[in-house]
Amino acid sequence: MEVTGHYDTDPLDLLCHLAFDAPLRTRKQRADYLRKNNPDFFDQYGDEARAILQTLLSKYTEFGPSQLAIPSALEVAPISDHGNIIEIAELFGGVLPMKTAFDQMDNLLYTH
Q: What is the distance between the alpha carbons of residues 22 and 30, in angstroms, rounded to a whole number?
A: 14
Q: What is the distance between the alpha carbons of residues 61 and 9, in angstroms, rounded to a whole number?
A: 9
pTM of the model: 0.90
Selection from 98, 93, 90, 41 nearest residue 73 by Cα: 98
pLDDT in tens, the chain (112 residues): 777 888 899 988 888 888 998 889 999 999 999 999 999 999 999 999 999 999 999 999 999 998 988 899 999 999 999 999 999 999 999 999 999 999 999 999 998 7
pLDDT attached to residue 6? 86
Q: What is the distance between the alpha carbons of residues 79 and 50, in angstroms, rounded to a whole number?
A: 11
pLDDT attached to residue 107? 96
pLDDT attached to residue 5? 81
pLDDT attached to residue 31? 97
